[in-house]
Chain A
Amino acid sequence: MKAKDIGIAKPGSSKANKTGSWRIESRPKFLQKDCIACNMCLLICPEGCITGKEKNGYICDYAYCKGCGNCAVICPKDDIDMIREE
């Protein structure tokens, strides 16, 4: 790599950067019991790694989830738990 090319980013760089490795303590567990499909967890996720449409059908991609816990905090039904990272 040439020094002049540093800082030049091609499209898709977010996909290449597997931020799941940043998780150190805990990960979200989608309980899928009381979910009302309000979509809040999907919208607040800074990585955009939560997917879902139906009630009790939401899940995240752990390859990108940084374990920030925002989804668990915003969930109005307490249907996402932060569990200890194994």
Chain B
Amino acid sequence: MKQFIEGSQAVAQVVKLCRPGVISAYPITPQTHIVEGLAKIVANGELKAEFVNVESEHSAASLVLGSVASGVRSFTATSSQGFLLMIEVLFNIAGMRLPLVMTCANRAISAPLSIWNDQQDSMTARDSGWIQLYAENNQEAADLHIQAYRISEDKDISLPVMVCMDGFILTHGAEVVDLPDQSEVDKFLPPFKLENKLDVEDPKTLGAFADPSYYTEARYGIQVANSNALEIIPKVSDEFKKIFGRATGGLVEGYKLEDAEQVIVAMGSIVGTIKETVDELRAEGKKVGVLKIITYRPFPVDAIYEALKDVREVAVLEKAVSMGYAGPLYADLKSAISCKSKINKISGFVIGLGGRDITKDSIRQVYSLLSGEEVRCEFIGLDPSFEGNG
């Protein structure tokens, strides 16, 4: 049913429909509304689950690690500093191959302190083994959570999935979202069964010591599961479309790519602004398109190559930077497709850090810079009075 709803509440509603048995989180802006919503849902008896209040994000992540390990579908959510506090546990969850879904309400990282949006937090876990999906709008954020459980619990994947949604822009933004019925979700998402669960009848330890003759294989297994996910994620998206009647998810989404000579690549809510700008540029006769990365980990190299192989110039726009080099998406994309296609320019742009507004003018600025010399890590919208000497 279509509802005018805040992004966080839409996520809380769909997580409820996925029937988690344990939810644990620690409040942090801009994630808080999601678990506040879920806390209310549990307290009202609308969802039979245990909502566990904890003293930190490290504990929240550890708690859901334990609940998933004992075979119960679980959920957590965080942002920014809380995300960083979870990170040790995030690696463990992936390493133990535990299917879990968490929301990262993307927010900047201290210092200086900022509660506003960018994607530097989730980028710190891109090497953890977690699957990362990025949502453009609230409908997609809601749908991706449902798909995330299916992807995560697939026996050929068995990895945690993080749904990343831009803090405030999506979490606090209200728009019309088509929320599914319980019966549809039940048809799409079977009950959770974990092969190697903690069980007093069959005691075992998870994540125990692996000496040098095993450790490499365990890590290789995560890499293989990620490759499997590249095959399975599009299938999950197709099946979602059959049941729910709309296409969301998958690896990448192209917009006006057919005859595009220049393409802007980005992920998250910024894609909406880029699409609008591209519409205007198209009206002016410019052959521009957009490539939205939905699945960032595993990195969909083939899908990206397929989308960009006939393109001349590519601009990568991102709300994160790997300090000392460039944006992580730029670096990944460049290594994946350069020398393989007709592309003669891949430029990287860093934009919208710490909640700096990204307007259509900012996108037009990127577009005009794309015609110039190739750049690796150009910051867009810097204050001109700032003395750029570090």
- Alpha-carbon gap, A7 to B222, bound state (A): 13
Residues of A within 8 A of B221 (CB): 2-4, 6
Asked whether B210 lies within 8 Å of A6 as measured between CB atoms, the reply is yes
**Which of A2, A3, A8 touches B206 (beta carbons < 8 Å)?**
A8
Interface residues on A, range: 10 to 19
* A-contact bits for B198-211, CB 8 A (1 contact / 0 none): 00000111111110
**Which of A3, A8, A11 touches B196 (beta carbons < 8 Å)?**
A8
Asked whether B204 lies within 8 Å of A3 as measured between CB atoms, the reply is no
A9 and B196 in contact (CB under 8 A), knowing A2-B221, A3-B217? no
Residues of A within 8 A of B97 (CB): 4
Residues of A within 8 A of B195 (CB): 4
- Verify if A10 is at the interface (C-beta below 8 Å from B): yes
Asked whether B218 lies within 8 Å of A9 as measured between CB atoms, the reply is no
**Which of B203, B204, B214 touches A6 (beta carbons < 8 Å)?**
B214
Asked whether B196 lies within 8 Å of A5 as measured between CB atoms, the reply is yes
Asked whether B220 lies within 8 Å of A3 as measured between CB atoms, the reply is yes
**Which of A5, A7, A10 touches B203 (beta carbons < 8 Å)?**
A10
Asked whether B220 lies within 8 Å of A7 as measured between CB atoms, the reply is no
- Verify if B158 is at the interface (C-beta below 8 Å from A): yes
Asked whether A8 lies within 8 Å of B209 as measured between CB atoms, the reply is no
**Which of B95, B96, B205 touches A9 (beta carbons < 8 Å)?**
B205
- Alpha-carbon gap, A5 to B155, bound state (A): 13
* B-contact bits for A1-43, CB 8 A (1 contact / 0 none): 0111111111101000000000000000000000000000000
Which residue of the partner chain B has the closest CB to A3?
B221
How far, in Å, is A22 (CB) from chain B's closest CB? 12
Which residue of the partner chain B has the closest CB to A11?
B203
Residues of A within 8 A of B95 (CB): 7
- Alpha-carbon gap, A14 to B197, bound state (A): 21
Interface residues on B, range: 20 to 34
Asked whether B224 lies within 8 Å of A7 as measured between CB atoms, the reply is no
Asked whether A6 lies within 8 Å of B205 as measured between CB atoms, the reply is no
The majority secondary structure among interface residues of chain B is loop
Which residue of the partner chain A has the closest CB to B195?
A4
Residues of A within 8 A of B205 (CB): 8-9
Asked whether B96 lies within 8 Å of A7 as measured between CB atoms, the reply is yes
How far, in Å, is A14 (CB) from chain B's closest CB? 11
A9 and B224 in contact (CB under 8 A), knowing A3-B218, A4-B97? no
How far, in Å, is A4 (CB) from chain B's closest CB? 5
How far, in Å, is A12 (CB) from chain B's closest CB? 10
Asked whether B208 lies within 8 Å of A11 as measured between CB atoms, the reply is no
Residues of B within 8 A of A5 (CB): 196
Asked whether B217 lies within 8 Å of A7 as measured between CB atoms, the reply is no
Asked whether A7 lies within 8 Å of B204 as measured between CB atoms, the reply is no
How far, in Å, is B241 (CB) from chain A's closest CB? 29
- Alpha-carbon gap, A8 to B203, bound state (A): 10
- Alpha-carbon gap, A25 to B222, bound state (A): 40
Asked whether A3 lies within 8 Å of B224 as measured between CB atoms, the reply is yes
Residues of A within 8 A of B210 (CB): 6-7
Residues of A within 8 A of B203 (CB): 10-11
Residues of B within 8 A of A11 (CB): 203-204
How far, in Å, is A17 (CB) from chain B's closest CB? 10
Q: List residues of B (142-163) whose CB comes within 8 Å of A's CBs.
A: 158
- Alpha-carbon gap, A5 to B158, bound state (A): 12
Asked whether A9 lies within 8 Å of B158 as measured between CB atoms, the reply is no
- Alpha-carbon gap, A35 to B208, bound state (A): 38
Residues of A within 8 A of B209 (CB): 7, 9
Residues of A within 8 A of B218 (CB): 3, 6-7
- Alpha-carbon gap, A29 to B95, bound state (A): 43
Asked whether A9 lies within 8 Å of B204 as measured between CB atoms, the reply is yes
Interface residues of B (CB under 8 A from A): 95-97, 158, 195-196, 203-210, 214-215, 217-218, 220-222, 224-225
Q: Beyond A8-B204, A10-B203, A11-B203, list 5 extra A-B contacts (CB 8 Å).
A: A4-B196, A6-B218, A7-B210, A7-B214, A8-B206
What are 20 A-B pairs with beta-carbon distances under 8 A?
A3-B217, A3-B218, A3-B221, A3-B222, A3-B224, A4-B158, A4-B221, A4-B225, A5-B196, A7-B95, A7-B96, A7-B209, A7-B210, A7-B218, A8-B196, A8-B204, A8-B206, A9-B208, A11-B203, A13-B208
List the 9 closest A-B pairs by CB distance, nearest first: A3-B221, A6-B218, A9-B208, A9-B205, A4-B97, A6-B214, A7-B210, A11-B203, A7-B207
